[in-house]
Amino acid sequence: MFYKITIVAAFDDLPPMDWLIPIRQYFLNHAQTINPGQENREISFYTLEKCYHDLEPTIPCEILQHETS
């Protein structure tokens, strides 16, 4: 059995890196891949995006950082 956490948070400004980097590092050091090598594999990942969903018309998010564990 695994525990899965999903957090999606939007900020007006880029979060301060002094608290974001340690959280990201802890996550990447401890997260696991569920069922590696199988069709139902689930990877753990971290993504920081610049989001434009508040614009009219909207445009796709810009990925600033993306890492998998």
Q: pLDDT of 27-63, one tens digit each?
A: 888 988 899 899 999 888 889 899 998 999 999 999 9
Q: What is the mean pLDDT of residues 1-19?
A: 85
pLDDT score recorded for residue 3: 83
**3-class DSSP assignment, residue 42:** strand
Q: In the chain, what are the domain boundaries?
A: 44-69
| Separation of first and last alpha carbons in the chain | 18
- Residue 69, pLDDT > 80, answer no
pTM of the predicted model as reported, rounded to 2 decimal places: 0.72
pLDDT score recorded for residue 52: 92
What are the CA-CA distances from residue 21 to residues 17, 18, 28, 46 (Å)? Answer: 6, 6, 10, 11
